[in-house]
């Protein structure tokens, strides 16, 4: 007997009562709160379209720097530095201004490996030391002889693995540079455990792209000043000394995206006003408990990351068994207004990836799991 062709995604309608209130579950750019967009619209005439070197914008930048320091629990002496170009530009900038000679990397997915590409090809740096981990796992952080900077992500966005923010035992002199693009404002950590906690704000912080923000320790700033004075040629756009100097004046070296700054302030104020990082992380915890609890109870899905200690609370990766095709599930969801649940292509698994940042309502994750059950039933029937 011929098996029935599965329903075409565009013909499968999820009952309206099942749908989440907001269908954005991307891992970046991620959902930003409609209230933030509304607030931006209200400031369109006195903030947008005004000079980034005048008080109007600089006051907002000052608010951003103070708000980030509060949210991330900046220890005494740490400062918030920012510049243009996103986390990707920060890698290039760090290769000039923070890494003296040789870096050590934990490489466990797309984003952590991209930083390795930067330091591997930089002609002024020695070949980096790299500890590669399989997708879905994370290699241990160990002291390495002869390196001056340790680099790893707080959360590897491509695989849904989170790492503890810490210094390697036995090396107190090197800097620790942590990529927090999909973690900052959503995962708990102790800022004293690293020297640069850097991120672009369009993922965990639910703003828009184009900016990098870094919480830097006095040791990091000291390194920046020393390398700047050393005569190493550095493109001005990637010069962290210029970034530090400008940030202290609440401005950026060149024109920033004012809307991105505004939306970031909105999100940071919303998080701080509700209880700060602990409150924000608790929201993501609720979402993660719902998503992984559902997957563990399901007979068709399972969390991809088996070690619960490193299973991300902000980006959930869920494997499906071969009775259903995850790409088809994503296509059905998309046709019903639920977007960006596709897995990271290069992992090559039958997988969905779900953003569970603080801006996402845990109830919407709950609704999403009901939609997933519904779709799987229809596809298998």
Ligand X SMILES: *Cc1c(COP(=O)(O)O)cnc(C)c1O
Query: Rule CB under 6 A: is residue 113 a binding residue for ligand X?
Result: no
**E strands along 38-124, which residues?**
79-84, 103-107
Asked if 203 and 357 touch (Cβ cutoff 8 Å), the reply is: yes
User: Which stretch of DSSP H or E encloses residue 261?
Assistant: helix 258-274
Task: Please identify which residue in 40, 74, 87, 147 interacts with ligand X, judged by CB under 6 A.
Answer: 87
| Nearest to ligand X of 87, 354 (CB atom) | 87
| Nearest to ligand X of 182, 246 (CB atom) | 182
CA quadruple 86, 136, 375, 19: dihedral sign: negative
| Nearest to ligand X of 181, 336 (CB atom) | 181
Query: Rule CB under 6 A: is residue 29 a binding residue for ligand X?
Result: no
Residue 353's closest CA among 298, 314, 296, 322?
A: 314
CB of 215 to ligand X, least distance (A): 15
CB of 111 to ligand X, least distance (A): 4
| Nearest to ligand X of 147, 213 (CB atom) | 213
Q: Which residue has the tokens 């997957």?
A: 295
Residue 318's closest CA among 335, 334, 306?
A: 306
Q: Of all residues in this chain, which one has the CB nearest to ligand X in the complex?
A: 86
Tokens representing 214 are 């870094």
Q: Which residue has the tokens 């990707």?
A: 88
| Nearest to ligand X of 59, 255 (CB atom) | 255
Query: Rule CB under 6 A: is residue 209 a binding residue for ligand X?
Result: yes
Exposure b/e, 342-358, CB count within 10 A at least 16 = b: bbbeebebbbbbbbbbb
DSSP state of 381: -
Count of residues interacting with ligand X (CB under 6 A): 13
Q: What angle do CA 82, 88, 94 make, to 5 degrees?
A: 65
Q: Which residue has the tokens 């505004």?
A: 262
CB of 279 to ligand X, least distance (A): 23
Query: Rule CB under 6 A: is residue 133 a binding residue for ligand X?
Result: no
- The SS3 call for residue 82 is strand
245: buried, middle or exposed (CB in 10 Å: 19+, 13-18, 0-12)?
middle
CB of 181 to ligand X, least distance (A): 4
Tokens representing 154 are 């707080």
Q: Mask: binding to ligand X, 305-344, rule CB under 6 A, as x and -?
A: ----------------------------------------
Q: Which of the ranges 42-50, 85-93, 244-252, 364-372 carries the binding residues for ligand X, by CB under 6 A?
A: 85-93
Task: Please identify which residue in 103, 107, 157, 251 interacts with ligand X, judged by CB under 6 A.
Answer: 157
Q: Mask: binding to ligand X, 219-258, rule CB under 6 A, as x and -?
A: ----------------------------------------
CB of 27 to ligand X, least distance (A): 7
Other Cβ atoms within 10 Å of 200 Cβ, number: 29
CB of 141 to ligand X, least distance (A): 16
Q: Which of the ranges 3-11, 71-79, 86-94, 363-371 carries the binding residues for ligand X, by CB under 6 A?
A: 86-94
User: Which stretch of DSSP H or E encloses residue 272?
Assistant: helix 258-274
Asked if 264 and 201 touch (Cβ cutoff 8 Å), the reply is: yes
Q: Mask: binding to ligand X, 167-206, rule CB under 6 A, as x and -?
A: ------------x-xx-----------------x--x---
Other Cβ atoms within 10 Å of 42 Cβ, number: 10
Query: Rule CB under 6 A: is residue 153 a binding residue for ligand X?
Result: yes
Query: Rule CB under 6 A: is residue 88 a binding residue for ligand X?
Result: yes
Residues that bind ligand X (CB under 6 A): 28, 86-88, 111, 153, 157, 179, 181-182, 200, 203, 209
């Amino acid at each position: 007997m011929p098996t029935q062709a599965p329903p075409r995604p565009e013909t499968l309608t999820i009952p309206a009562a099942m749908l989440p209130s907001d269908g954005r579950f991307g891992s970046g750019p991620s959902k930003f709160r409609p209230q933030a967009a509304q607030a931006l619209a209200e400031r369109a005439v006195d903030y947008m379209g005004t000079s980034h070197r005048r008080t109007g914008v600089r006051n907002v930048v000052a608010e951003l720097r103070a708000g980030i320091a509060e949210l991330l629990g900046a220890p005494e002496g740490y400062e918030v530095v920012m510049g243009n170009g996103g986390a990707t530009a920060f890698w290039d900038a760090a290769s000039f201004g923070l890494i003296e000679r040789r870096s050590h990397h934990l490489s466990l997915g797309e984003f952590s490996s991209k930083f390795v590409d930067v330091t591997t090809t930089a002609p002024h740096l020695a070949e980096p030391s790299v500890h590669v981990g399989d997708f879905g796992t994370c290699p241990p952080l160990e002291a390495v002889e002869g390196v001056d900077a340790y680099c790893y992500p707080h959360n590897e966005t491509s695989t849904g693995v989170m790492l503890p923010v810490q210094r390697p035992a036995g090396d107190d002199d090197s800097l620790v540079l942590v990529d927090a693009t999909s973690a900052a404002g959503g995962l708990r950590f102790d800022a004293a455990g690293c020297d640069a906690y850097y991120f672009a704000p369009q993922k965990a912080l639910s703003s828009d792209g184009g900016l990098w923000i870094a919480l830097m320790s006095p040791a990091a700033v000291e390194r920046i000043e020393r390398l700047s004075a050393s005569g190493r040629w550095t493109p001005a756009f990637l010069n962290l000394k210029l970034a530090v100097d400008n940030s202290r004046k609440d401005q950026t070296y060149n024109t920033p995206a004012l809307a991105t700054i505004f939306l970031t302030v909105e999100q940071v104020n919303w998080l701080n006003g509700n209880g700060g990082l602990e409150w924000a992380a608790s929201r993501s915890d609720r979402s993660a408990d719902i998503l992984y609890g559902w997957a563990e109870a399901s007979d068709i899905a399972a969390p991809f990351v088996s070690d619960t200690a490193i299973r991300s609370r902000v980006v959930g990766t869920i494997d499906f068994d071969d009775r259903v095709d995850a790409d088809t599930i994503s296509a059905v969801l998309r046709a019903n207004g639920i977007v960006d649940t596709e897995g990271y292509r290069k992992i090559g698994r039958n997988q969905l990836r779900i953003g569970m940042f603080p801006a996402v309502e845990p109830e919407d994750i709950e609704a999403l799991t009901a939609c997933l059950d519904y779709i799987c039933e229809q596809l298998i029937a």
